[in-house]
Structure 1
């Protein structure tokens, strides 16, 4: 990293500038960037991008897809799955392209791209709250999923043992993150992410394979569960949120791309895009069989987590649940890393804490503790998916990239690009409005009979 010459006046106290991966910055920011988790390491390979994206995408959402199908029905369910895959693949391509659209500059964080598109202050206000809610929401849901899967593992391998509260299993799951959260950056969690990506493909295969083995259940019903039109409509809305939750990788894609080296001759978008294509093929291999086979086997009797519906063979279901635990450990870290980056930036730049191990230990441990507490308090799995899926995942995944694309590139009106982006925006806005309504209703219904910390 070489400093360029001092400014023309030549006085000793002046700001110098240095080039960091093609991005000219004041010298005072360089050490900070070398310390922050997103920008501290830029030696990732294209396959890092592939399994980071698989880990970010294929998570708790895939296990809820058969349940979403039961609320959508065959025709609408397949249509929503396919359209979501196409739309999010397109918007992910946009994010990768926009990472280095300004020569000599990299938008390492979602909010930096938002600031370029909408202005310094407005960009922050539009992107940061949504991105934070997405990442914190995912971490809470993954705490719930980790605790649920550990409990299911315990109950399957030891059916006659004394029942242990789910709350304790969430605490056990969280204990791993108090340690792993101290890993400094994305590239340091590469091993965890690879294990998580392998596990996601494995347990997805077990989920649909075991469903095929069980076969179509006797008296299976594919009609809507609710006996009223209003109930059916709200369930439909919630299921849209479940699907949106399943396609959530956009919130960390720029941060993942920031770890790949880049030069004018070899921009980071080429290896990143290669990784994204591989990741999206794996996503399709996980999502479509689980959603369709799970619904085919159990119909509307399927539960909000397909592995809970499957009881036998016991050893296989126990293994699958432990695979889910390993996977959501990796996913939690992928989504927590941008939050750590934001927290540490604010603590050092705004509140003037000195960067170091002590700050990292305290701030990250407090964050893990907060997500653990919220997961123990509100473990409404399917309701949480529907609510958060529509409320913040729809904007950041389905249409915010399109809005930024229109704002920055300004494609010709009525051109193919213009139409494509506006179709995505309209679909995304509809999703954002209706999905939280259904999710919130499910949370309210379940809250009526829920006992805290049961």
Structure 2
């Protein structure tokens, strides 16, 4: 019910946001190239900077979250190999820090040529479908095995966890689900890449319907069959569940698909951050050769390697910083919950509602105005609950955590 509700909310708010790409008219108005530009055109004032702070903080946080997630999948492959060699009873504790560093190095290598890697998003989409289908198939197979609990309607019972812990975990789950529907933060940037005719908002609305419907079906199936497979002990990541020791190769393939998917997804979410900083710096240093000079060098077995000095330095520093933070805070579900809670209400609900009201010149205290504002307030309460639950989860993790020594 919660998944379906978030899907409906995200879809409806995305329809409003798609109409705000142009201003003042959604079809013939002036293009707004970024989310901040749209807020500037419709709302202005302090809300522009509030939007930028929330949006780019979430984009940075998403890059950190993807680094953590990719390393967990790589560690799962390494542990699978360890179990196969040493037996299922072997502890096989492996640090995820080297794998975070490896993921960061891959991102640095992709920096200069990302614009040429148009096929990467297609590969990422194929990988996403692949690991989802594998995860669901393995879950179905495990669900039909005998001798294990299928879980209960109420989930983990009071007694196994305290009443307070139960509430915190429910709130944290809300944040996880909110993060799963967090694409609104780059909806305007994606819409800016569409050609017209037909009008960009019509194309974006069709894409949103297809995207939300497809992901919701996969989320529903993964959640249901994953719970059928593991019951109340369902892990945060099905593919790293302790029940999946066999078939080794299939689990490894699924985790490899996750890693490849996140390599592309990381770049997509990082591009708006790169562009924002580079535009801001170039505007204030228009006469500096450092920020405009392009260089090239010949690399054996590669050819001519072209790069902009400032872009290469800044983007490399960004990747290094994200990797270091990921190594300091490798708490997958809690970090995802915080990101979802922080970004869902302002970027998915608040700004689309306020811009829609401003665009339509809707008078205060009319029925539609009251309905939209009430809806926004309810979503705010849900986001705050998710944020509190996720922060509580991080606090509990920090009590037993040693920096740079996390092992799985």
Greater mean alpha carbon deviation, residues 375-384 or residues 394-403:
394-403
Query: Does the CA contact (< 8 Å) of 1:224 and 1:232 recur in 2?
Result: no
Q: Distance in 2 between matches of 1:85 and 1:451?
A: 37
Q: Does 1:358 align with 2:280?
A: no
Query: Does the CA contact (< 8 Å) of 1:395 and 1:432 recur in 2?
Result: no
SS of corresponding position for 2:31: coil
Query: Does the CA contact (< 8 Å) of 1:143 and 1:372 recur in 2?
Result: yes
Q: Does 1:196 align with 2:196?
A: no
TM-score (ref. length: structure 1)? 0.77
Pick from 275, 278, 283 the counterpart of residue 349 of structure 1. Answer: 283
1:154-165 matched pairs, under 5 angstroms:
154-159=78-83, 160=85, 164-165=94-95
1:311-330 matched pairs, under 5 angstroms:
311=244, 312-330=246-264
Structure 1 residue 259, shift from structure 2 partner: 1.3
Q: Distance in 1 between matches of 2:275 and 2:236?
A: 33
Pick from 72, 94, 107 the counterpart of residue 177 of structure 1. Answer: 107
1:71-90 matched pairs, under 5 angstroms:
79-90=1-12
Match of 2:36 in 1: 111
Cα RMSD of the aligned pairs, angstroms, is 2.1
Q: Distance in 2 between matches of 1:278 and 1:189?
A: 24
Match of 2:60 in 1: 136
Q: Does 1:445 align with 2:403?
A: no
SS of corresponding position for 2:199: coil
Structure 1 residue 117, shift from structure 2 partner: 2.3
1:258-407 matched pairs, under 5 angstroms:
258-262=192-196, 266-309=198-241, 310-311=243-244, 312-352=246-286, 353=288, 354-356=291-293, 357-407=308-358
Match of 1:239 in 2: 173
SS of corresponding position for 1:190: coil
Structure 1 residue 368, shift from structure 2 partner: 0.7
Structure 1 residue 313, shift from structure 2 partner: 2.1
Query: Does the CA contact (< 8 Å) of 1:140 and 1:375 recur in 2?
Result: yes
Q: Does 1:146 align with 2:51?
A: no
Q: Distance in 1 between matches of 2:3 and 2:110?
A: 33
Structure 1 residue 271, shift from structure 2 partner: 2.8
Structure 1 residue 316, shift from structure 2 partner: 1.3
Deviations 1:272-297 (A, max 9, x none): 33322322232123211011211222
Deviations 1:181-226 (A, max 9, x none): 22354xx443111111111122111112211110166134324435
Match of 1:428 in 2: 379
Q: Distance in 1 between matches of 2:313 and 2:226?
A: 43
Unaligned runs of 5+ in 1: 1-78
Structure 1 residue 435, shift from structure 2 partner: 0.9
Distance 1:191 1:417, change over 3 A: farther
Structure 1 residue 158, shift from structure 2 partner: 4.0
Deviations 1:105-153 (A, max 9, x none): 111100111112221x423222000001110111000000011101111
Query: Does the CA contact (< 8 Å) of 1:395 and 1:428 recur in 2?
Result: no
Query: Does the CA contact (< 8 Å) of 2:143 and 2:229 recur in 1?
Result: yes
Q: Distance in 1 between matches of 2:311 and 2:34?
A: 20
Deviations 1:74-125 (A, max 9, x none): xxxxx21111000001111112111123345111100111112221x42322
TM-score (ref. length: structure 2)? 0.85
Unaligned runs of 5+ in 2: 87-91, 294-307
Q: Distance in 2 between matches of 1:281 and 1:105?
A: 30
Query: Does the CA contact (< 8 Å) of 1:384 and 1:443 recur in 2?
Result: yes
Q: Distance in 1 between matches of 2:107 and 2:34?
A: 23
Query: Does the CA contact (< 8 Å) of 2:182 and 2:343 recur in 1?
Result: no
